[in-house]
């Protein structure tokens, strides 16, 4: 199928009061797990790779594989660079055929974030790709002091108008990585942003957020939810299970176990984001696995 843009998928999700799962990948097994789950559930997804992961998963190798997976899938898939940091990497992703760019200028002062994001947005539009920006400081779990600056709703409105981005990643108490405790999402801030901004919102740091909180975010305008750490955890867990259960090892069995674990993790999140499974059933499934 033709590769879709992130903008197209989140617009479709908005009309159905759902959110699109954006799943980060780092190798072939993760790709297979994501695409298998999306195909089984007949649900569009976004394949992502973050610039910070390119040291271990080079873009010139991962990019073509992600593009091929999207084109050969029976469901609509967008391919996005996640947390792009440099113009050089953005250009490489666009040249490979990525349909969306997420540029992260949140570490800069506001005016520089606007200037850089606007420049990247223009580059992406010229290539026929959509753009996601970020405003506010999304923390990283595990830091001694979790630095969190919630997105200012008034600045969000101005940022969207000045940059022309298609989606906005917001900081409302969410963080990348593993949460040390249940995150305290600021729904009052999210609601104010949703009321002021005309484009769909994005929730980063999805790993560890409770299903009921995902649903509440969706009701407040979130149309794209990023899952990264849970995907990498699933891949590692698959390897752990494989080596713990047998003494004779081979790559093909390892491959299947890793794909299966990623598939299960992605499928669970898709069902939550699609409102296709009740919270009671989610809790029951978790108890059965415990």
Whether the predicted pLDDT of 99 surpasses 50 = yes
Whether the predicted pLDDT of 282 surpasses 70 = no
**Average pLDDT across the chain, whole number:** 91
- Domains defined for the chain, CATH in brackets: 6-289 (3.20.20.70)
Of 211, 228, 250, the residue nearest 47 (C-alpha): 228
Whether the predicted pLDDT of 290 surpasses 50 = no
33-80 pLDDT, tens digit per residue, is: 999 999 999 999 999 999 999 999 999 999 999 999 999 999 999 999
The share of the chain scoring above pLDDT 70, in percent, equals: 90
**Do 91 and 103 touch, CB atoms closer than 8 A?**
no
Candidate list 12, 76, 82, 248, residue with the active-site label: 82
Give the pLDDT score at 67. 98
Give the pLDDT score at 90. 98
Give the pLDDT score at 177. 77
14-37 pLDDT, tens digit per residue, is: 999 999 999 999 999 999 999 999
245 counts as catalytic: no
Lowest mean pLDDT among 16-30, 73-87, 179-193, 224-238: 179-193
Whether the predicted pLDDT of 83 surpasses 70 = yes
Whether the predicted pLDDT of 284 surpasses 60 = no
């Amino acid at each position: 199928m033709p590769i879709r843009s992130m903008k197209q998928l989140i617009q479709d999700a908005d009309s159905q009061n759902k959110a699109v799962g954006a799943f980060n990948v780092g190798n072939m097994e993760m790709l297979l797990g994501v695409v298998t789950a999306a195909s089984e559930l007949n649900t569009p997804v976004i394949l992502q790779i973050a610039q910070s992961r390119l040291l271990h998963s080079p873009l010139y190798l991962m990019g073509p594989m992600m593009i091929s997976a999207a084109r050969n899938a029976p469901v609509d898939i967008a391919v996005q660079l996640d947390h792009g940091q440099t113009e050089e990497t953005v250009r490489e992703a666009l040249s490979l055929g990525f349909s969306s760019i997420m540029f992260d200028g949140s570490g800069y002062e506001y005016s520089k974030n606007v200037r850089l994001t606007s420049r990247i947005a223009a580059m992406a539009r010229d290539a026929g790709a959509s753009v996601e920006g970020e405003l506010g400081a999304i923390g990283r779990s595990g830091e001694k002091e979790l630095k969190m600056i919630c997105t200012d709703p008034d600045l969000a409105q101005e940022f969207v108008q000045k940059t022309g981005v298609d989606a906005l990643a917001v900081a409302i108490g969410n963080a990348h990585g593993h949460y040390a405790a249940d995150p305290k999402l600021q729904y009052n801030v999210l609601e104010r942003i949703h009321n002021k901004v005309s484009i769909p919102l994005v929730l980063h740091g999805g790993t560890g957020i409770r299903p009921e909180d995902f649903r509440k975010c969706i009701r407040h305008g979130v149309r794209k939810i990023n899952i990264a750490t849970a995907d990498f955890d699933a891949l590692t867990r698959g390897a752990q299970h494989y080596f713990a259960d047998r003494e004779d090892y081979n790559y093909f069995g390892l491959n299947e176990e890793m794909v299966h674990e990623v598939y299960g993790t992605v499928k669970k999140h898709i069902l939550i984001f699609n409102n296709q499974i009740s919270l009671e059933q989610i809790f029951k499934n978790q108890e059965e696995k415990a």
